[in-house]
């Protein structure tokens, strides 16, 4: 009789142990909720041709405001290398930003200077811009 009671207590104890382990594992596998401060770096594998096209495009259409090294010019374009704007966004998100631009009076504008839609060159295609984004991401990631 005593033996049966003891074995029942042991069984219940084991079940609690297993439950506890499951709860502990469950807690570890809950994915972290992304927040503004914990956004992680987004990386891609680009081919050399895209990066070269992007460099040519950047130098032709963006250097006037963002500087040849993409580190920005005071009173003109923002620093695209040291900030985390590009590295924490997908290509699609950066593309959407460049297509739209950011007016000087936009609530998120930090410099009071406008970022023109498509850099001010409406003829630049989405693919042209994606190559430029590839080049800039490569620059920014190499600078981290």
Interaction site with ligand HEC (CB under 6 A): 61-62, 64-66, 76-78, 80, 83, 85-86, 94, 97-98, 102, 109-111, 113, 115-116, 119-120, 132
132 versus 139: smaller Cβ distance to ligand HEC: 132
What's the closest the beta carbon of residue 90 comes to ligand HEC, in angstroms?
13
Whole-Å CA distances, 35 to 2, 26, 32, 40, 82: 56, 21, 9, 10, 20
What's the closest the beta carbon of residue 112 comes to ligand HEC, in angstroms?
7
3-state helix, strand, coil in the chain (%, to 5): 55, 0, 45
Token output for 131:
């190559």
What's the closest the beta carbon of residue 143 comes to ligand HEC, in angstroms?
14
Token output for 85:
């704007």
Of 99, 93, 88, whose CA–CA distance to 123 is shortest? 99
26 versus 122: smaller Cβ distance to ligand HEC: 122
Tell me how far apart the alpha carbons of residues 14 and 12 are, in angstroms, rounded to a whole number.
Answer: 5
What's the closest the beta carbon of residue 57 comes to ligand HEC, in angstroms?
7
9 versus 76: smaller Cβ distance to ligand HEC: 76
29 versus 125: smaller Cβ distance to ligand HEC: 125
């Amino acid at each position: 009789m005593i033996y049966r009671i003891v074995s029942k207590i042991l069984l219940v104890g084991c079940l609690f142990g297993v439950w506890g382990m499951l709860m502990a594992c469950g807690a570890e596998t809950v994915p972290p909720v992304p927040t503004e401060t914990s956004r992680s770096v987004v990386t891609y594998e680009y081919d050399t041709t895209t990066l070269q096209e992007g460099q040519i495009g950047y130098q032709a259409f963006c250097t006037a405001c963002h500087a040849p090294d993409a580190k920005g010019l005071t009173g003109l374009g923002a620093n695209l290398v040291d900030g985390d704007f590009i590295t924490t966004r997908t290509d699609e998100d950066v593309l959407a930003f460049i297509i739209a631009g950011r007016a000087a009076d936009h609530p998120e504008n930090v410099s009071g200077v406008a970022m023109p839609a498509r850099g001010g060159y409406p003829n630049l295609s989405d693919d042209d811009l994606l190559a430029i984004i590839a080049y800039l991401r490569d620059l920014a990631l190499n600078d981290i």
